[in-house]
Amino acid sequence: MTERASQAISFAIHPSRDPVPAARRAELLVEPGFGQVFTDHMVTAAWTAEHGWHDAQLRPYGPFSLDPACQVFHYGQEIFEGIKAYRQAGGPIVTFRPAANAARFVGSARRMAMPELPEDAFVRAIELLVAQDRDWVPAEPGHSLYIRPFMIATYVGLGVRRPSPSYLFAVIASPAGSYFHGGPHPVSVWLADGYIRAAPGGTGAAKTGGNYAGGFVGQMQAIEHGCDQVVWLDSARRQWVEELGGMNLFFVYGSGSSARVMTPALTGSLLEGVTRDSLLTLAADLGIPADEGAISVTDWREGCAAGEITEVFACGTAAVITPVGAVKSTGGDWTIGDGAPGPVTRRLREHLLGIQFGQFPDPHGWVHKIC
Ligand code: COI
């Protein structure tokens, strides 16, 4: 069977003959954690300089057979995305702003000298996989299906003269509970010391595996200091706050009707989060002034001490909105407010999840129905 939906790319449909039995799937959905359990199917498509995108298919989830000399294993030519599907109460299964992820995937591909996947094919691949594996979308409140599209360089050879002339695009999906163990409790963060994540002109704004590989050493420092996450600072002065290991940051100034939020501006070295962008709009919708700007470590510490910064939270597709309760660094430690989730953090989280799960109106048309 062949499905013609994307303008340029046709997906062949090959359902699994051996899906996980319903009873076992139900067990797996009870406590799925994050990124541990995978659904019955995946989508793949190949690209070559000669044929462009071809051989697109939905097929049973399973291992790839790849030559050990494939370029991705040696030079890390790889990009990925993260997006979720939600089971709305008694009704449809939806996803959230898939066109924004499709556009970012194109941007990452350009930066990593990889072929651009047409945005409609990116969205169609997600629709096909989620519709096929709809029974894997959790019904538990707050749980979702995390979808991971990615692309790798498959050229076999060790030369580094030019980018790979062949690629594999794939989409896999994984039922997800809370990203942080134990649910969305306030996390503690460690200010990266001695390492940077990204520099001007580098790959920081692209969603490419190397940014995360290079970040693990900072994440290990964070864990050694008893923290959940690392905060990356700017490369030149190690002074300006950029982002967390896999999430953007928001700062709340003031409280009550005078509260406002600010997130570090996109300098080219931090990731343009879809959740970040949505929250800038959503905060404004709720009457909370929202801005992009610059914040130094000193501003952060002194702002908390003076009571001007009342809340800080991290945001991303995987983590949704997660309060930050405490900061540790070689220059000193401090807490944010009383260390507990603040009212602005809770309100934004409730509204974002409310739109995604269909409990609140969706004035910007962000929700994308799949089935
Ligand atoms: C996401 O929030 O989707 C991410 O990509 C963060 C992380 C799991 C790498």
Q: Whose CA is nearest to atom 6 of ligand 1?
A: 246
pLDDT tens per residue, range 2-14: 444 445 799 999 9
Q: Ligand 1, residue 212: give the atom nearest the CA.
A: 9
Class (C level, CATH) for 187-355: alpha beta
Q: How far is the CA of 295 from the centre of ligand 1 (A)?
A: 23
Q: How far is the CA of 81 from the centre of ligand 1 (A)?
A: 7
Reported pTM: 0.96
Q: Ligand 1, residue 80: give the atom nearest the CA.
A: 5
Arithmetic mean of pLDDT, 68-84? 98
Q: What is the rounded distance in angstroms from the CA atom of residue 297 to the CA atom of residue 249? A: 13
On average, the pLDDT of the chain sits at: 95
Q: What is the rounded distance in angstroms from the CA atom of residue 131 to the CA atom of residue 267? A: 37
Contact (Cβ atoms closer than 8 angstroms) between residue 170 and residue 150: yes
Class (C level, CATH) for 2-176: alpha beta
Instruction: Decide the pairing of beta strands 320-328 and 187-191.
Output: parallel
Q: Ligand 1, residue 148: give the atom nearest the CA.
A: 3
DSSP of 198-251: --TTSSTTS--HHHHHTTHHHHHHHHHTT-SEEEEE-TTTS-BEEEESSSEEEE
Q: Whose CA is nearest to atom 8 of ligand 1?
A: 318
Contact (Cβ atoms closer than 8 angstroms) between residue 297 and residue 312: no
> How many CA atoms does the CB half-sphere of 31 hold within 13 Å?
4
Q: How confident is the model at residue 48 (pLDDT cuts 50, 70, 90)?
A: very high
Q: Which 3 state secondary structure label does DSSP give 283?
A: helix
**With b meaning 16 or more CB within 10 Å and e meaning fewer, what string describes 208-234?**
bbbbeebbeebbebbeebebbbbbbbb
Q: What is the pLDDT of residue 8?
A: 73
Radius of gyration of the chain (CA): 21
Q: What is the rounded distance in angstroms from the CA atom of residue 132 to the CA atom of residue 43? A: 10
Q: How far is the CA of 215 from the centre of ligand 1 (A)?
A: 13
Around ligand 1, the residues with Cβ closer than 6 Å are 82, 246, 316-318
pLDDT more than 90, % of the chain: 91
> Domain ranges in the chain?
2-176, 187-355
β partners of residue 57 = 12, 44
Contact (Cβ atoms closer than 8 angstroms) between residue 232 and residue 197: yes
Where is average pLDDT lowest: 70-84, 170-184, 313-327, 353-367? 170-184
Q: How confident is the model at residue 34 (pLDDT cuts 50, 70, 90)?
A: very high
Q: What is the rounded distance in angstroms from the CA atom of residue 117 to the CA atom of residue 171? A: 13
pLDDT tens per residue, range 270-323: 999 999 999 999 999 999 999 999 999 999 999 999 999 999 999 999 889 999
Exposed, middle or buried, 272 (CB in 10 Å: 0-12/13-18/19+)? middle
Query: In CATH terms, are 2-176 and 187-355 the same topology?
Result: no
Q: Which two tokens stand for residue 62?
A: 């399973």
Distances (CA, A) of 237 to 111, 195, 196, 233, 315: 25, 12, 10, 8, 25
> How many CA atoms does the CB half-sphere of 64 hold within 13 Å?
18
State which amino acid sits at residue 174.
S
Q: How far is the CA of 58 from the centre of ligand 1 (A)?
A: 23
Q: How far is the CA of 85 from the centre of ligand 1 (A)?
A: 14
CA-nearest of 268, 269, 276 to 250 is 276
Q: How far is the CA of 317 from the centre of ligand 1 (A)?
A: 6
| Cβ-based neighbours of 110, under 8 Å, separated by 6 or more | 116
Helices (H), 153-215: 209-213
Q: Which two tokens stand for residue 50?
A: 């000669």
Q: What is the pLDDT of residue 91?
A: 84
Arithmetic mean of pLDDT, 215-221? 97
